[in-house]
Structure 1
């Protein structure tokens, strides 16, 4: 990425995890930063649906090679692993075909890149939590559960390709072995196997972002809420104008960290992003029986659902829906979340009375984040980290801030930073 020496005042559009993390690292680098957020507070959209996993070992690009077959079989299931709207949507199926090609050609490489990025982001997150004494609500350790042997075999093969990262992991077979790691695990559902990652974990992502906002403000970052950006326009002299309601703000550079809204802002400039809006679903239930509540995070490979203890609550989140945006989950999504929770921790909480909600996040066909420069040298993007992308989002924010400052990144950024997003 070519450093623009005139960059000084930066506006960030989007007050979620990506936007606030980027604001913090840019402020640390000496930039003057303002965050524009259309909601009344930070972390109220996609970040509110983040699973809370901090899991370099378990993280993987969310590509969906079998979605066509899955969609047909899901028509007859009350609790499907993926929800797809019936009917033919040309744009959606073009995206799915590209996702299939990415899986076939680049999944292993992208998994390695995402692991590198997430390990870096997890380290940065833990450093921030320790440095500032943040309330964490963290849990240590993660069980990666496989319902089918084929998934267990595939994961073992993938993990073998990650030996250079020296990430601790243990293969586990049988209920007794799983209960040695997590005594609260009470599954009567057949499980083909599990991987245990003792250094992965989970936490409260929304709480982290709200605390990071306060730290960023102490460094001079200005937050402007209830500000819907209408358009961005490159100006002569290397500056950018931002239309917000009835006013215009002019800055040296802009970082777009607003998910699917990024596409609307870039389209008038002749640029498109390969993003598809995906729904994720969440449930939060109060702990009923402390002895039967999990202390270790869990990730179900089939349903792409995470279960994590958050203080005196249990959060169940994940699942993917190619459905129109709604505030409340589809009835089948609720059934799937309840199934996963009750399959593994049936007596931990009354999951039927949980609070349920859905969130929309932006996903590339290759399942990787989209971070870096556009062909306009002072317009940048940072998006697409996904429902399990807490660590990757923090890592991407630091990489982007270093690149904008003209500093060498602390990790290899190959495949993680765009040199320029073409028009």
Structure 2
């Protein structure tokens, strides 16, 4: 079939790769000048099956209220009239029960495990070089109550197949010696040895080049004006007066997916969660982590990307605002200095922010929409890089009329 993929972020490009591998004729439409220039550009860098606990959990409502007036809060809801955010927030609260949290965690782990395996197979086939490391992910805790809650979540994940093991302070330091300066502040951690890290931007651009070499057509600087529907099907994608027609259409536009589909009567429970990152160049004397870390209490991750350290995290619900907030940028670096006082950067940090497409449950929307030839691959929240290969492979199966492998609630 002829398939048009809308979006060339990591999810769109992996979708194109697996669709082409399945024998389809694929065209990718992307408004930017190249692949991976928006949410995939400077994310946290983690392939983190271990990060499967949804934001919506029994502890979330009280935490969100406590953080409401803090400009540097890990999770910040901007108080303003926004009907879409109000609807999303009510759905979020419904997902905060223990039963729903467990069901959502099961789905997230299932897709993330499958995706990590698909990434490893793709890497073995293509030898892509994206500063990847296979040293696991270590979650660290400086608050005993947070550690207790996390230990319970880790036990649930182990039941679903994610090998997230609770570890002592001594074991944390053995895994990542760069934490030695804050030994007295740590209360414990948990470690997932099979998790990975790597530069999603480099991966996306290199895979896009491989796709193009294998016949996938990329149309960059192609802003999609609208989708035309007729007879219960999509008749084409209109781009600057030019109509792109295909047998099937895959929407992988992240946070912008609801805006494109709303005129078609499709209202998706996706809201942009703005995340921040800082990229720090490291010098010869830098004492920096080489194992990817998650500071759960502050919702910040650290990933070593060659001679750079990527520091990323937090979530700000502020519509489609993409302006950098200096207070939130400073919060990233303040926590970094607390944990790694001997970091000794080689240059000033480079800050970035991007809009992550969050569903209330953190479970992405993948599969066929109510419009027969329109498919979705979106809503991955903070786990777009983690789930990209699995989502793309499963989506290609669905478009091809096959049943996807992972036990996940596909549309």
Distance 1:209 1:55, change over 3 A: same
Does structure 1 retain, via aligned residues, the 8 Å contact 2:274–2:356? yes
Does structure 2 retain, via aligned residues, the 8 Å contact 1:26–1:401? yes
Counterparts in 2 of 1:84-163, with a 5 A limit? 84-104=77-97, 105-139=99-133, 140-163=135-158
CA distance in 2, matches of 1:351, 1:326: 31
Residue 380 of structure 2 is matched in structure 1 by: 385
Aligned with 1:354 (options 349, 358, 379):
349
Residue 180 of structure 1 is matched in structure 2 by: 174
Residue 10 of structure 1 is matched in structure 2 by: 3
| SS, match of residue 106 in structure 2 | helix
2:263 is the counterpart of 1:268:
yes
| SS, match of residue 63 in structure 1 | coil
Residue 298 of structure 2 is matched in structure 1 by: 303
TM-score (norm 1): 0.90
CA distance in 2, matches of 1:351, 1:62: 35
Distance 1:237 1:159, change over 3 A: closer
Aligned with 1:51 (options 41, 44, 58):
44
1:351 Cα deviation from its structure 2 partner: 9.1
CA distance in 1, matches of 2:342, 2:111: 36
1:191 Cα deviation from its structure 2 partner: 2.8
Aligned with 2:216 (options 216, 221, 226):
221
| SS, match of residue 178 in structure 2 | coil
Residue 212 of structure 1 is matched in structure 2 by: 207
Residue 22 of structure 2 is matched in structure 1 by: 29
CA distance in 2, matches of 1:123, 1:106: 26
Aligned with 1:40 (options 33, 56, 65):
33
Residue 234 of structure 1 is matched in structure 2 by: 229
Q: How many residues align?
A: 408
Does structure 2 retain, via aligned residues, the 8 Å contact 1:281–1:357? yes
Does structure 1 retain, via aligned residues, the 8 Å contact 2:276–2:353? yes
| RMSD, aligned CA | 2.3
CA distance in 2, matches of 1:358, 1:207: 17
1:166 Cα deviation from its structure 2 partner: 4.3
CA distance in 2, matches of 1:75, 1:293: 32
CA distance in 2, matches of 1:63, 1:49: 25
1:173 Cα deviation from its structure 2 partner: 2.3
Distance 1:165 1:78, change over 3 A: closer
Aligned with 1:63 (options 50, 56, 61):
56
Deviations, residues 142-200 of structure 1 (Å, cap 9, x unaligned): 111223323222222222223345443432222x3321111111326723320011111
Distance 1:359 1:64, change over 3 A: farther
1:387 Cα deviation from its structure 2 partner: 2.6
Distance 1:76 1:252, change over 3 A: closer
Does structure 2 retain, via aligned residues, the 8 Å contact 1:362–1:384? yes
CA distance in 1, matches of 2:175, 2:330: 27
1:232 Cα deviation from its structure 2 partner: 0.7
Residue 369 of structure 1 is matched in structure 2 by: 364
Unaligned runs of 5+ in 1: 1-7, 419-423
Residue 281 of structure 1 is matched in structure 2 by: 276
Does structure 1 retain, via aligned residues, the 8 Å contact 2:286–2:344? no
1:71 Cα deviation from its structure 2 partner: 5.3
Residue 243 of structure 1 is matched in structure 2 by: 238
1:238 Cα deviation from its structure 2 partner: 5.2
1:53 Cα deviation from its structure 2 partner: 0.7
Distance 1:315 1:249, change over 3 A: same
Does structure 1 retain, via aligned residues, the 8 Å contact 2:253–2:378? yes
CA distance in 2, matches of 1:338, 1:188: 19
Unaligned runs of 5+ in 2: none
